[in-house]
Chain A
């Protein structure tokens, strides 16, 4: 008993440290913005946001036996996003804060859903049908933004169905793959990909593709299958390059954005300049002028962070994303059922690949596609879906925790001196 509580206490202190750091970070950043502009809302945010972080850690961490480290990392990344968005446009910052609070609510729902849902044999087909329908909506009724037709308006609210379908894909694939229904999973993922290609939403398609491949590999361990998948993907990429002018244009801009720095390449060129202005240490919060980048608040969230906080901070942020991914994979490793494992692997891969695709686009490692930086970029649907993915991971973690507790009780360790383990 003694030993267990001691161990738990230690872990709590460690993650409390990270939570405390997040609170201090949010408080200081907003304090600085308050001092600089005299804007009282910033002062309120300084107190409010750090209080919210503390409250969320206490409530989510206390009520649900979830993974505290993952929670702390998530909150920190969200705070970075809110700070940088508020600094450029207080309206966007406040909207992002509201979406963040809403997202935390959704995260809690997801935790409960994964923890207590039993009727997956009923849920999975329903989600599958619903998600395909949802994904088709923009093709039929959607409107085109920035070359991709992936938005729909419903009662004045616009949203991106592909973000919601992300969650569906994770759940449905995890369920069918755990039932060894490989072909059905393949058909489902394939149809999603084709619809996304029709919408010209290439970045999201790339992420779906990668997630599907990784989940299939983990469930079967078959290198042949991965090989077929990679060959198919390469074939699709070549086909896309030859058939679609917008794909060729993206690639051309990627290869040399300086060929037309005031036109086609403008966004990337301004993004690169913003990073160069930041250098290693950044221009300082509130001192940069990266808002010259079109869509800086979602496509180029990483660049504006580098602009004001600097390259070293950027590396730190990448490190934190990697920590989230690795923590997710650890949860998958400890999960008890095949479904839980696959779900956790899918969620981790989803966050990892999405970060890779957008950051890679920002730093000109790969062609730029308009996906968002998870947890940081501006955008309701995006932030909500990222937090839900974290929620699914937390749900699996909660089940692991519950399993550990059950085993301990069964083994009679809980009440005794706590030998072993």
Chain B
């Protein structure tokens, strides 16, 4: 019996070690996220006692700083408006902007314990650390000019090799230096950060995922032939292609084609059938690899979870999912990440905003590190998808994003929304060049076709990034 007691001792030790290790680990990994959560009354209380640090962009331009009691933003209104959703505001009108989500640094919680003691001893007020972002404020301000006037939507620019976010704009925006009552009651919801919070049907941009699923599940995927007669009926529902107008008896037909041409011209007929060949199970598995139905816990930002509908999938719903309609919902960030997978040889990088944190004494306490979020496809598949996206820009739906002399890849999307006359225009793409590894997503709500509305905006951004 004594021997049995000796075996209970390690059991108890293991239980308590588990408690200690889990507790300490969880606090170390997630503590900052918990602290930054908007309903933390303690963090709000800290604002009265600590002088908030400044927020700078990637070139060192000061976007926000504190003078006395006042929070002062950049002098140029265009820069203020272009960066307001990344920055957020002090009052928390914009959910999870840098001003609240990185309050851990801005209020100096990263500083050593001794710093706190010293500030009390010397009677100098405490000062938080400065946060430098990966954001390029000049690019962001330019995007403001390129985006269609008076339209809603979002634009994100990211380095697909490192995950550094260069711009994250949401429209409509507002001026943080002048938050009036009319901003708060605006039905366009300017506080809402559409880039990471807005939930949309991905439309044809989802074909990147359907194509990847086909390539991964069927070795002969590219050799399969389909016949597009312009009208496909699945479960009593008619699926047509862009340009079809049944009332005027105009039907877009692509004829006999394979997946490559179908992707280039964005043929709904073919991709709906591809989805049925894949079945719901395989298509869902692929979408989940790309991040659907996953609870994103990125270090620098809160991205709304994208959802792939879960139950009772009829053939009709599966077919519609293959072309990014049905009940699929995702953020522009999610669409961008799916293109980044193809761009970065299959590895999706974690999107990051934090370049460095600099303590008041000038010491850099945190510096940029990139991390792979997911490896979603192998290099060969990524190369194939990349090639199809290149063709789509060279001779398909995305020609207006092209920059002559450069390898631009992309995919357009025109997502139908119930009760709206115009489609949501999407373009997602990237520069396939080693010295300019940038990916872009553009979403313009209620505006028309992706190729005609969103692609030109992306084209402007690509030209800027390539220095042309």
Contacts and interface: CB of A to CB of B under 8 A. Distances in A.
A binds B: yes
Interface of A: 214, 217-219, 221, 256, 258, 261-262, 269-270, 272-277, 279-281, 283, 288-289, 292, 311, 314-315, 318-319, 321-322, 325-326, 329, 332-333, 338, 341, 345, 348-349, 352-353, 355-356, 359-360, 363-365
Contacts of A273: 34-35, 37, 39-40, 42
B12 A326 contact: yes
Contacts of B18: 360, 365
Contacts, number: 123
Contacts of B312: none
Given A279-B109, A329-B12, A348-B12, A315 B20 contact: yes
Interface stretch (B24-32, B211-219, B459-467): B24-32
A322 B35 contact: no
- 7 smallest beta-carbon distances between A and B, as pairs: A276-B34, A363-B23, A276-B35, A276-B31, A322-B16, A218-B4, A277-B42
14 contacts: A261-B39, A273-B35, A273-B42, A275-B31, A276-B27, A280-B113, A311-B24, A322-B16, A332-B5, A333-B5, A341-B5, A360-B22, A365-B19, A365-B22
Contacts of A288: 42
A98 B4 CA distance: 39
Contacts of A272: 30, 34
B466 to A, nearest CB: 40
Contact of B23 (A218, A289, A311): A311
Contacts of B295: 256, 258
Given A272-B34, A332-B5, A338-B1, A277 B22 contact: no
B246 interface: no
B395 to A, nearest CB: 45
Nearest to B31: A276
Nearest to B23: A363
A218 B5 CA distance: 6
B8 interface: yes
A355 B15 CA distance: 10
Contacts of A262: 39
B181 interface: no
A341 B26 contact: no
B187 interface: no
Contacts of A218: 1, 4-5, 8
Given A256-B295, A283-B42, A311-B23, A352 B12 contact: yes
Nearest to A214: B8
Task: Determine chain A's interface SS by DSSP, over half rule.
Answer: helix
B37 A318 contact: no
Interface in B1-57: 1-9, 11-13, 15-16, 18-20, 22-24, 26-27, 30-35, 37, 39-43, 45
A325 B12 contact: yes
A178 to B, nearest CB: 10
Given A218-B1, A329-B9, A359-B19, 14 more contacts: A217-B7, A256-B295, A273-B40, A275-B34, A276-B34, A281-B113, A289-B41, A311-B24, A319-B20, A329-B12, A355-B19, A360-B19, A363-B19, A363-B23
Given A311-B27, A359-B23, A352 B2 contact: no
Contacts of B39: 261-262, 269-270, 273
Nearest to A218: B4
B147 to A, nearest CB: 32
Contacts of B24: 311, 315
A219 B1 contact: yes
A329 B8 contact: yes
B17 to A, nearest CB: 9
Nearest to A272: B34
A321 B34 contact: no
A70 B18 CA distance: 23
Contacts of B22: 360, 363, 365
A225 to B, nearest CB: 12
Nearest to B26: A363
A228 B246 CA distance: 68
A289 to B, nearest CB: 5
A356 to B, nearest CB: 5
A326 B9 contact: yes
A341 to B, nearest CB: 6
A261 B37 contact: yes
A283 B49 CA distance: 14
- Choose among A273, A288, A360 the residue with the greatest number of B CB atoms under 10 Å from its CB: A273
